[in-house]
């Protein structure tokens, strides 16, 4: 169940849009993750039964070559870091929380695009799994470790199958939805077992004016009881 403190870590629409734009801008290295890959990457990081320190995952967001990271201006770099950490905080408080109802993020694919739907999300997720401690299995009872491996195999299996390249967008969206549900179940299970969990990091973002319309995490004004992003805001 989410708390007022959890709600405070949900990004505003303006910051969410700024993050999406920033990740594909000249402000960051050329091989920086885009928002879809970042979402999958953080899902993989947060599914770990052992919390992964920020310093261990943050450099991979900017470049596959951590020792060659080069930002533009100092203020731009700080803004980029703050936005990524804010997104991390949102996922820390929403993945595994039924009330918040986190869902994987992916971009629509334009006609003629060489990428397949949700391909970058899964690439990011797999990269997040690579950051798990090598001895993570020792932190769990044998049965729990075996069950976790089965869950991870179930998430990854459809994407590596021979027929995956020819799968329709509808099939790929179904695979992505199932992956999100499994990740949420994994994180929720760690909470049930009272394992050490990742916590939001301290981030200070410049205040933004409140938008005229409802925010994506606010109740939809139609009275459905759903969040705007899952109701009338879904089309937007």
Please report, for the chain, the start and end positions of each structural domain, with discontinuous segments joined by +.
6-193
- What residue ranges of the chain have pLDDT lower than 70? 1-8, 65-74, 100, 204-213, 220-225, 231-232, 234-236
Q: Which CATH class is domain 6-193?
A: mainly alpha
To the nearest 10 degrees (0 to 180), the angle between helices 74-94 and 35-46 is: 50
Question: Do the Cβ atoms of 136 and 196 come closer than 8 Å?
Answer: no
In three-state secondary structure terms, 98 is coil
| pLDDT of amino acid 158 | 93
Question: Do the Cβ atoms of 25 and 83 come closer than 8 Å?
Answer: no
Question: Do the Cβ atoms of 165 and 116 come closer than 8 Å?
Answer: yes
Measure the CA–CA gap between 102 and 97, rounded to whole angstroms. 7
| pLDDT of amino acid 4 | 45
Residue of 158, 164, 129, 111 whose CA lies nearest to 43: 129
- Within 8 A by CB and 6+ apart from 138, the residues are none
Question: Do the Cβ atoms of 105 and 39 come closer than 8 Å?
Answer: yes
219 beta partners:
227
| pTM, full prediction | 0.82
227 backbone dihedrals φ, ψ, rounded to 5°: -70, 150
- Structure-token match 């590596």, residue found: 160
């Amino acid at each position: 169940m989410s708390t007022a403190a959890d709600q405070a870590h949900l990004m505003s629409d303006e910051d969410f849009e700024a993050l999406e734009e920033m990740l594909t801008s000249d402000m960051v290295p050329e091989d920086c993750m885009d928002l879809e890959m970042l979402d999958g990457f953080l899902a993989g990081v947060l599914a770990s039964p052992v919390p992964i320190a920020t310093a261990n995952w943050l450099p991979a967001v900017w470049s596959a070559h951590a020792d060659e990271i080069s930002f533009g201006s100092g203020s731009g770099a700080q803004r980029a870091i703050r936005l990524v950490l804010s997104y991390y905080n949102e996922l820390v408080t929403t993945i595994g929380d039924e009330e918040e109802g986190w869902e994987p993020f992916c971009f629509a694919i334009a006609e003629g695009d060489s990428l397949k739907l949700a391909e970058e999300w899964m690439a990011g997720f797999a990269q997040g799994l690579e950051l798990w401690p090598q001895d993570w299995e020792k932190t769990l009872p044998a049965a729990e470790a075996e069950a976790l491996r089965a869950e991870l195999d179930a998430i990854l299996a459809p994407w590596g199958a021979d027929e995956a390249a020819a799968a329709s967008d509808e099939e790929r969206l179904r695979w992505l939805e199932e992956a999100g549900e499994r990740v949420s179940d994994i994180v929720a299970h760690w909470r049930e077992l009272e394992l050490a969990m990742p916590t939001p990091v301290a981030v200070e973002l410049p205040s933004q004016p409140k938008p005229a319309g409802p925010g994506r995490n606010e109740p939809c004004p139609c009275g459905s009881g759903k969040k705007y992003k899952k109701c009338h805001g879904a089309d937007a």
